[in-house]
Amino acid sequence: MQRLYRKRIILGVGGGIAAYKSAELVRRLKDQGAEVRVVMTQGGREFITPLTLQALSGHPVHLDLLDPAAEAAMGHIELARWADLVLIAPATADLMARLAQGVADDLLTTLVLATDAPVALAPAMNQAMWRDPATLANVELLRSRGLKLFGPASGSQACGDVGLGRMLEADDLAQLAADCFEHLALTGKHVLITAGPTQENIDPVRYITNHSSGKMGFALAEAAVEAGAKVTLISGPVHLATPDRVTRIDVVSARDMLAACEAAMPCDILIAAAAVADYRPEVVAQHKLKKDPNSGDGLLLQMVRNPDILATLAQRDDRPFSVGFAAETENLLEYASRKLKDKNLDLIVANDVANPSIGFNSEDNAITIIDRSLQQSSFAQTSKGKIARQLVSFIAAQQPKS
């Protein structure tokens, strides 16, 4: 169940006898690589202690909506944003009724209203309570709002009855939680992304660079994480915040970037979105270069070629699936196709940086992807975040099925 690797799961524990299974569920989720935070209702605390779940999850258990200490650390809104999945197990008849009515009178019900993450319920109650018309109506209402139901199972119950209402076992719930991430097509993949410009020093004061903002590469890193990948982002000098759950390595020059990429290998997928300087000054002056007051001549710099990062990595014995970018101002598709072939790439992403609405420092982009057979797939202008998700989905579709 690699789909749970690095996933953030809030486990809500309601007030039912099946709460004893929650301890085993925490273990099963963590065994599969998930990070688990536990939120308990007042009733849940009557059946299993917070200390038990804290020891198993490795994190303090969240108990009260208006807890000053908790709000200072990870408040209920931050906790709601943190989650990739909210799984409530056990979900009692009372808890499901409150969720159906949109009640937010404790931490767990408030989290469900505040989160954009999927919410799944594992019902646990007496068989008569499960088949009561009010419960069944609540179930249909919750399903219509997009909440998932895991179970219930049929079997013997603590009260001695036999029938539907028994909470699923921990292994089954962990499998169903993993199934919620089935669409995350890059789970288990290591994606290496380069972003931003490079800087090549002339002297201690001046350098050569370009207009790249790094926005596209950073958007790709975020999209790759959303798709379940482990992401290493190697960035030239930019003023952007590191996307959540991305390992970022800052570099300056093209040679720095190549060294960082080689140190980060092997990877499964390489996306080279950085605008790397093709040339650098042959000699870097030790001190600031001064103007000659007696001469009106210009400054002559002897330039030498920088290493080709993308071509170097695409030629390795442990070659990753290699995706390059062609930022051009003319003959876009011709130059991009040539670069695809010359650098031995799997895909090339062509974008017209002469168009200010989709060029360097813009918020939008529009791209054409060219594959090895020179087939083209175009994505219309939209935000760089949406373009990044479209591109990551396209790349994921090219990966061999495991």
Predicted confidence (pLDDT) per residue in 206-259, tens digit: 999 999 999 999 999 988 988 889 999 999 999 999 988 899 999 999 999 999
Residue 290 lies in a domain: no
Catalytic positions are 159
How many domains is the chain built from?
2
Q: Helix, strand, or coil here: 83?
A: coil
Question: Does residue 110 lie in a domain region?
Answer: yes
Same domain, 137 and 255: no
Are 336 and 218 contained in the same domain?
yes
Q: Output the pTM of the full model.
A: 0.63
* CATH number, position 310: 3.40.50.10300
Domain boundary among 179, 210, 229: 179
Q: Does some domain include residue 293?
A: no
Question: If pLDDT is split at 50, 70 and 90, which confidence band does 33 have?
Answer: confident
Query: Within this chain, do residues 239 and 207 fall inside the same structural domain, yes or no?
Result: yes
Q: Check if the beta carbon of residue 167 is closer than 8 Å to that of residue 176.
A: no
C-beta separation of 182 from 330 below 8 A = no
Q: What is the C-alpha to C-alpha distance for residues 170 and 10, in angstroms, rounded to an integer?
A: 15
Q: Of all residues in the chain, what percent carry a pLDDT higher than 90?
A: 65
Q: Are residues 25 and 114 in the same domain?
A: yes
Note whether residue 185 is domain-resident: no
What average pLDDT does the segment 198-207 reach?
95
Residues 374 and 314 in one domain: yes
Say whether both 10 and 146 belong to one domain: yes
The C-alpha torsion from 76 through 78 and 82 to 88, rounded to 10°, is 10
**Predicted confidence band of residue 389 (pLDDT cuts 50, 70, 90):** confident
**Do 312 and 346 belong together in one domain?**
yes
- Is residue 80 pLDDT above 90, yes or no? no
- What is the span of the domain harbouring residue 116? 2-179
The answer to whether residues 255 and 281 touch, using CB atoms and an 8 Å cutoff, is no
Rounded to a whole number, what is the distance in angstroms from the first to the last CA of the chain?
Answer: 12
* Residue 121 domain-assigned (yes or no): yes
Shared domain check, 79 and 161: yes
Retrieve residue 296's tokens: 């009106």
139 and 167 share a domain? Answer: yes
Output Rg (C-alpha) for the chain, integer angstroms.
27
Q: What pLDDT, in 10s, does the model give residues 296-354?
A: 677 788 999 999 999 999 999 999 999 999 988 888 899 999 999 999 999 999 988 88
